Structure 1
Amino acid sequence: MDALRCGAFAARQKERIKPMPSITLRDTGRGHLFAVTHENGQHASALIPMAAQGSALADMMTHLVMCSQAFIDDHAAASKRFIGDELANQVRGIAAGRFSRVYPEAVKIGRKENQDVAAAKAALSAVDPATPATAAIRARVLAKWDAANEAGAREAIALDRNLPYEATAALIESGVLASMDERTRNTVTQRYMEQRYVATTGSQSRHEMQPSLDQPLASGPDREAARRDAAAAIAGLNARSETLAFASDALRGIVNVVALATDQTPANVYQSFTAGKAA
């Protein structure tokens, strides 16, 4: 009996001194890095991004950081009280408890933001059907395109910053830009979105030319100011898209960190975070 008791005691002691995973959270300046290094040497990490203050994702990213820190603290406390299977069950329950409300909510808000950004970009990329007033403009630029035979002539047409809105619409609608390189296509698309923003939001009416030394009697719409306003709006949409990409990586990464820290599969962790929650 003594030998059996000694063996059981030794096994418990071995479990107690078993190395624990190292779980950390640190501010990188671009976001918070939530990371784990398992006792077997495996590593996983998630960068929880900083979202612009007041943006759709800002609060949820903050909550995910807070939950990550709480999980670290609770995991450390449980490691001092429990061993073996009991510890494993405790930390798995801790993880589910900490993330099962915030994680699905972050997914829900992220999906809504993704839909909003996609809809805004689609609206700015759409080409309205030609009207009797605009059909002639579109036909002229396409005829000029067809007649451009010299090297670089078509690229020059496409990249002309002064090309009217309807002319740019014709290039996009007709599909002729497919023959251009990616840089040119992206430049034209960006310009069209800016032109469409000005045309559909009435932003030009908000920008009046101001008198200056060179033009003391200046009046009328300030087209350059309106174009800058449009460029800033589209840059904002692109920034939101970038944050969404980082947020998606973070949500995936958090599952991987917790899975490694609690000796579970990512699929099981994801299920524990989202069970019964409509995302």
Structure 2
Amino acid sequence: MQFHIEPFFDAQSCTYSYLVSDPVTRRCAIIDPVLDYDAAAGRITYSSAGRLIEHVRAHALTLEWILETHVHADHLSAARYLKHQLGGQIGIGDRIPQVQKTFAALFDAEDDLSLDRSQFDRLFADNETFHIGALSIRVLHTPGHTPACVTYLIEDCAFVGDTLFMPDSGTARCDFPGGDAHQLYRSIGRLLELPGSTRLFMCHDYKAPGRDVYCHQTTVNEERAHNIHVGKGIAEAEFVALRTARDRTLNQPRLLLPSVQINMRAGEIPAARANGISYLKIPLNML
């Protein structure tokens, strides 16, 4: 059936968020929304989320779902803020407790972070289906970048999170806690088994060397033929060696520490202390 995809780009984090809508029922989903965060000032603002809200209201849409492909390490999620403003349910893959457990220990957050998954409204199992209006969505577990990564498949469109990048940029890193290059290779293989014309929508683009424009969409065929890490039938062992060596050269994402603390709570800011101020924690010498 016909449906509409509207990309929204956040230049600060090089993140693409997507608004997917069913024109018949006028119901929609937002995938991987962004909060604006000034790391130097420790200040959260809402202009990126505001653009999504304006679009939903201007087109008289009803927000049914706020979907996360994983717990992001490079931007703060606007999921909770959007739910407060527009309603809808927050969904993520059902392996999120593994991520929460790992990072709750790192941030000494067991006292104020429930590990019962209650921060999210819906946890999706592998191959589970759900609906946006009359649109049917299938969830594919695609771990490797994190243990809880998922892809949302809507007809001939797949929203792949950080599992794949544009062909000239390759693949996601696997050196975060719980990441696994072997798993990532197999997850990518699952995506590349989709029909060749399947459109793949990126969560990030950083403009590969020699490319002057940001890009958010490619196809399975283009990835099979041209992806610099997994194209042309590269074997698993070769990919793992390449990915592991590359990860050793990468710096930690600039917003890793604030992002994970917010995102493992489905975009909720930690509760204010007795002085009325909310705090994020910085673990020293751990990463």
Q: Give the TM-score normalised by the residue count of structure 2.
A: 0.22
Higher RCO by CA contacts (8 Å cutoff, separation 6 or greater): 1
Q: Give the TM-score normalised by the residue count of structure 1.
A: 0.22
Higher relative strand content: 2
Give the number of the structure whose alpha-carbon radius of gyration is greater: 1
Higher relative helix content: 1
